[in-house]
Every structure is written in structure tokens, then in C-alpha cells.
Structure 1
Amino acid sequence: MFEVVTFLQCLDRVKESFRIVDSMLHPGNVSILEKDFSSCSPLRAPEDYVEFVNNLADIFMGAVQYNMESPGSDVRKICEHMVNAESAYEGLKIVNSMYMDFIGLTCVENSHEKSVSDLRDTKINPVGVGERQWYYQTCTEFGYYQTCEQSSCPFSPLNTLKTQLDLCKEIFQIPPESVRQSVQFTNEFYGADHPKSSRIIFVNGDVDPWHALSVLKNQSRSEIAIFINGTAHCANMGPSRTSDPPSLQKAREEIASKISEWLRSAETTE
């Protein structure tokens, strides 16, 4: 019961902290936000405001997506800071500072102009996660936009579908209608959440928010869904650890067994 109450309190604190931040996003108070959250540059344009609140939301979204898969992704620890702080706003400051320390940042870049400039850069970067490539895929295949336009969303409502689609046009000159058509084509071509294929294992963790877009039930004898309790994004793809929960250990065994079965079957049919 303690955990349920704590996480509900955490959710309320996150909501409150973002409401406070939103109320301060005007010329009279924005300098306070710049100082309190270590912005590298002044928040001048409305687009900078969107960049700012999205960067704050990314801390929480990333922690949930990769919970316990890296030292900086610990939902429990983040919630402890949010709940135990003197106020929701102070909690958000602490969490932001903690995230900066983990990443090794001295300030957070909230300039929309610089963000777009960086994403337009076509030079190959051997490190990082390929952010430009990911954005291109969202604009030409997936969509997958994380917005905050419903009242239940705990973050800032400044993050809308429009602000996400605008990036496609700013970076790649891809208009919104083209994005919609591309996403529709992807769903139709690959079968959306009923792909009707074979020898596929759909693996998801129940902590990972992305599981909502995946296949969660077996579609056929060769389209298998494995849903892992207590794990986040792609936990099964990481190396085995002694701290792995039993559900993850069992899932890895099921995956290995099924793939071995399919490989043996392929050998006998050749």
C-alpha cells in the first residue's frame, strides 16, 4: 500500500510542478526558470518554451522507459525526490539537477533554433543514439509522437502534435499531411498490431510505455507475444545479471527455446 500511495503522490507532484512551470513561462518570470533549471541560453521565443518543458518531461519519460536499466533511470528514486521535497517545484529542480549530474551537463540547451540546427546536421556522428535518424523515421514511417494534450497528462500542454509535426517540416521539409500518409502506409503494409506473419516474437515489458503500441497476445502458433512483468524497454536484450527478476529470466529462456525450435525446423526443411 505504501508504494501505491507514494507513486500516486509522485504523480500529483509531477503534475503540480509542471503547472507551476507553465504559469511562469512569461517574460516576467522566465529568467527565474532559466536560473533554477540551468538553461544554457535565454528562453526567448515560444518555441524555446516548448523545448524547455519537453526537456524536463524527457527526464521522467526516459526514466520510465528505461527504469532500472541504467543508473540514471530509477523511477523510485525520482519519485522519492519529488515526494520528499519541500514543494513540487523544488522537487522538479532536484530531479533536473540529478539528471544533469548523471549526464554530465553543466547546463541544459533549450534553444529551439539550436536544436533544429543540430538535427539538420548531416555529418555522421559515431556516438549517440542517432537522434536525427529517429526523427526522420517518425516523420516518414512511425509517427510515435509523445504529446500532452489530454487533461490526464502530467506534463506541459505546450507539447502538442502540431509542435512535433512542425519539426518534420523544419528539419526535413516534410509536411504534416505527408507524415499522416506515411504512418497510414506503414500500418497497412506491416499489418499494424495484427501483422499476420510468421516466426516473430513480440517481447515487451509492462513498465515500458511503448508496450501499448505492440502486440501483447499470441497471434498464431508462430507469432508469439511475451509480456514481462516488472521490466522496461528492451530489458531482454541486455546481458543477464544476477539482479534480473525471475520474470525476465523466464522470458529469456522462452525466447531462446522458441528461436532454437525455429532454427531446428528450418534445418530439417532445407
Structure 2
Amino acid sequence: MNFAKEVNATVMIPEHRFYGKSVPNDDMSVENLAYLSSTQALADLKNFIEYIKREDLYKNSKVVVFGGSYSGNLAAWARMLYPDLVDAALSSSAPLLAKSDFYEYLEVVGDLFKKYGSSACYEKVAEIFQRYEKLLKSDEGIEQLKKEHKICKGTDMKVLENQHTFFYYILTYFTSMVQNPTQIQHNCNHIITSNSIHDWKWNKQLQFENSHPICFNYDFADMIEDIKEHFYFKPWLYQTCTEFGYMQSTSSNNHPFTNNLPVSFYYKMCTDVFGPEFDQARIEDGVKKTNEKYGGRTPNVDRVVFVNGDMDPWHKLGVLTDLSDEAPARVIPDAGHCSDLWFFDDDDKSEKVAEVREFTMKKLKEWIGM
């Protein structure tokens, strides 16, 4: 917004198809989701810009696109595909490389707990996860785990997919806090002193009595039905199953979380929600085509600034070094996801973020002739 004020710009925020109210044919069926893709979204953006520039007020205006995370991908790709329409772009925290098994994500999460928490915290997390793994191998252990985590009696924790679902929700506890050193330190203190991990607030499958949660359901089949019925997660899942992957598995050995969330868990989510044809082969083919189309971490593009924070696990899929003088990259130390786009005022003491913002504004002004 500071950039917009300095260059006297109009800020417009178009809505991505299938997110919010912009649902083609008002239909979220699998058949209609065929019209959901980054290619279609970029074509929508092209049409939107052309429509706006028909107005006399904007017909000679320069166009700068901004985006963070997936929309950071779109910002870079819009400049690449439509250079005659898009004059410059800021691509923040953009995971430009599609990857089916994104095991690096949890590696970074583990490293951050060691760096901003402590080695003792890292080791305690590993100990707790190893205990979960051991408990799930016996009937007595399962009963103990169900008691400790208030797992619903009807949830069969002998079922492998239900065990994976348990780890899926538990890991959300960790991935939700890794952008903030203070949060990591606070939660590390809790983990070490209490010898436990609380994930309850993340479990969408709660069962209530008198408005109070009485148990927590880790049934994989129930989770699938919830995704089918509630559309808030379905569009993004579809894009990961058809274009991007981004599946945060535990298949690496370089983290403290044990290997109890395999990439096959996510493949099964795709097939169970969208149909048997959305299998591993289709997912990997979609990832391959995405990288071939856009260039992964080396897109053929100029007049784009790429920004990442080194605390952000998504930076592992981003552009971290200059592609050219006209496509520079900056990595902000001790910064999280899209930190350069967060609310920022004169009292903000983050000099590292401020330096990158100043650099970005200078480059964008240069590229639009100011």
C-alpha cells in the first residue's frame, strides 16, 4: 500500500475463480472443477486487466501485479505470459517449483524448533512422536493414546489411514507456529514442561455435547466426507492434486516427527475426494507439466522481484538467488511467509524487512519509468 501511495496508483484485487463467490456455473462438482487451474486464473487476470484498460482513466496506466504465496506464483507467471499487459511484478514467498512429495517442509519446521526453541525441545518432540508411534502398535497403547487425546471411542485407531490422520492434525500444531520465533519458544517451554502436545483446536471433526467438545475424531473417511461437503478446502486440494503437489510428508529422516505421514496419505485424499483417476500417476504428471509450462525455480521472466523469508518452509520451492539483473531475489533473515507484505508502519523495527521493501519499491518504480 505504501508503494501505491507513492506512485498514485489504484489498487484492485480480483477474486480467483472457485474461491469465494466466483464459482463458474455455481458448481463445485468434480466435472466443473476442470475449469479450475492456474492457467485459467491467469487468463481471467488478463481479461480483467484488458477490461479495466478500456476506461479512459486507465488506458495508458502501467500495471504492477503483487502476490504472496500461490498468488506470488501467479504474479510472476502473469508477467511471464503477458509482458505486454503486465509491466512489473512482486512475487512474495512463492513456491514456484511444483513438487509432489514436499518432504522439505517438515525438515525446515524441525530446524526452526531447534534454532528458535532449543536442542532439548527438538529432542523432546522426537521423543513424544516416537512414543505415539509405539503406542499405536498395541491395543493397550491405542487405548492409552485415545484417553490422552480424547479420541472418540468410535474412531478405530488400528486403521492405518486413521493413524495418518492423527499425525496430520498433530503436525498442524507445529506448522501453524513456525513463522514466529516467540511462538516457537513459548510452545517449546510448554512441550518440555508438560511432556505433551495439544492439537485439539485444529481438529475439524469435533463431536460436541452442550457446546463443549467431548471427543476428537481422527477417522479418515469422515474427514474425506467433510471435505466433500464443505467447500473451503476443496478448491485448493484440487489444485494440489492436479497441478502443484505440495504434499508435506514425513518421508525424510531429517526431522523429529517420525515417518507416520507418508505422501500416500495425500494421494489417497485426492482419489477419495475427486475419484480414482486422480491417482499418483496423474498427480505426478500434473506436477511435471506445471514445471514444464512455467519453468519451476528458473522461470523465463524479467521485471519481477522475488522475496522469501528464511523462516518460511515454502522458501524451499522458491527463487532464492538472482535470475538476472532484471529478476532479482532477496531472502529476509528471521522472516516468515509473506512478511514483506504484512502490515508495516513507521514504528516497525524490522530493518531487514524494511530494506527489502525499499529495494522492491525502487526496482518497481524503475521498471514503470518513475
Tell me the TM-score normalised to structure 1 length.
0.81
Number of residue equivalences: 243
Letter in 2 for 1:67: N
1:268 paired residue number: none
Distance change (3 Å), C-alpha of 1:250 and 1:178 = same
1:53 paired residue number: 167
1:29 paired residue number: 141
More strand by share: 2
2:317 paired residue number: 213
Which 5+ residue runs of structure 1 have no aligned equivalent? 125-129, 266-270
Cα-to-partner distance string for 1:145-191 (whole Å, 9 max, x where unaligned): 11112322311312111111111111112111010100000111111
The yes-or-no answer on 1:252 pairing with 2:344 is no
Distance change (3 Å), C-alpha of 1:27 and 1:216 = same
Name the CA distance, whole Å, in 1 between partners of 2:252 and 2:339: 29
Cα-to-partner distance string for 1:205-246 (whole Å, 9 max, x where unaligned): 000111111010010122121111111111112111534521
Letter in 2 for 1:229: P
Equivalent positions of 1:69-218 (< 5 A) are 74-85=183-194, 90-92=195-197, 95-96=198-199, 106=213, 108-121=216-229, 124=231, 130-173=232-275, 174-218=278-322
Name the CA distance, whole Å, in 2 between partners of 1:210 and 1:237: 15
- SS at structure 1 position matched to 2:252: coil
1:127 paired residue number: none
Note the C-alpha offset of 1:204: 0.6
The answer as to whether partners of 2:155 and 2:217 remain within 8 angstroms in 1 is no
2:58 paired residue number: none
Letter in 2 for 1:259: L
Name the CA distance, whole Å, in 2 between partners of 1:235 and 1:105: 36
Name the CA distance, whole Å, in 2 between partners of 1:47 and 1:205: 34
The answer as to whether partners of 2:172 and 2:202 remain within 8 angstroms in 1 is no
- SS at structure 2 position matched to 1:144: strand
Q: Percent identity, aligned pairs only? A: 26
Note the C-alpha offset of 1:46: 2.0
More helix by share: 1
The answer as to whether partners of 2:306 and 2:319 remain within 8 angstroms in 1 is yes
Larger radius of gyration: 2
The answer as to whether partners of 1:43 and 1:49 remain within 8 angstroms in 2 is no
Distance change (3 Å), C-alpha of 1:97 and 1:131 = closer
2:129 paired residue number: 18
Name the CA distance, whole Å, in 1 between partners of 2:267 and 2:318: 23
The answer as to whether partners of 1:10 and 1:82 remain within 8 angstroms in 2 is yes
- SS at structure 2 position matched to 1:74: helix
* Alignment root-mean-square deviation, CA: 2.5
2:341 paired residue number: 237
Name the CA distance, whole Å, in 2 between partners of 1:178 and 1:132: 18
Name the CA distance, whole Å, in 2 between partners of 1:257 and 1:108: 51
The yes-or-no answer on 1:67 pairing with 2:180 is yes
Which 5+ residue runs of structure 2 have no aligned equivalent? 1-113, 204-210
- SS at structure 1 position matched to 2:308: strand
Distance change (3 Å), C-alpha of 1:116 and 1:6 = closer
Distance change (3 Å), C-alpha of 1:28 and 1:149 = same
The answer as to whether partners of 1:54 and 1:159 remain within 8 angstroms in 2 is yes
1:43 paired residue number: 155
Note the C-alpha offset of 1:99: 7.2
Note the C-alpha offset of 1:61: 1.6
Letter in 1 for 2:360: I
- SS at structure 2 position matched to 1:91: coil
The answer as to whether partners of 1:6 and 1:83 remain within 8 angstroms in 2 is no
Note the C-alpha offset of 1:251: 1.6
- SS at structure 2 position matched to 1:223: coil
Note the C-alpha offset of 1:67: 2.2
The answer as to whether partners of 2:173 and 2:202 remain within 8 angstroms in 1 is yes
2:3 paired residue number: none
Name the CA distance, whole Å, in 1 between partners of 2:306 and 2:147: 45
Distance change (3 Å), C-alpha of 1:108 and 1:230 = farther
Q: Which has the higher contact order (CA 8 A, sep 6+)?
A: 2
Note the C-alpha offset of 1:96: 3.5
Distance change (3 Å), C-alpha of 1:97 and 1:178 = closer
Name the CA distance, whole Å, in 2 between partners of 1:43 and 1:158: 18
